[in-house]
Amino acid sequence: MLTQVRFPSPPQPWQWGFQEVCRRAGDFALVGAVAMLQLDANGVCRDSRITIFGAGGTPLRMRTAEGILEGSQVDAGVRQQAAEAVSQALDPISDIHASAEYRKDVGGVMARRALEQALAASPVNP
Instruction: Delimit the domains of the chain by residue range.
Output: 15-120
Give this prediction's pTM.
0.88
Give the CA distances from residue 4 to residues 1, 8, 30, 119, 125, in Å, rounded to whole numbers and listed in that order.
9, 13, 31, 32, 21
Give the CA distances from residue 32 to residues 11, 57, 70, 94, 105, in Å, rounded to whole numbers and listed in that order.
27, 13, 21, 15, 11
Q: Name 35's bridge partners.
A: 17, 50
Contact present, 18 and 114 (Cβ < 8 Å): yes
Altogether, the residues listed in the chain come to a count of 126
CATH topology of domain 15-120: Enolase-like; domain 1 (3.30.390)
> Tens digits of per-residue pLDDT, 24-64?
888 888 999 999 999 999 999 999 999 999 998 899 999 99
pLDDT at 75: 96
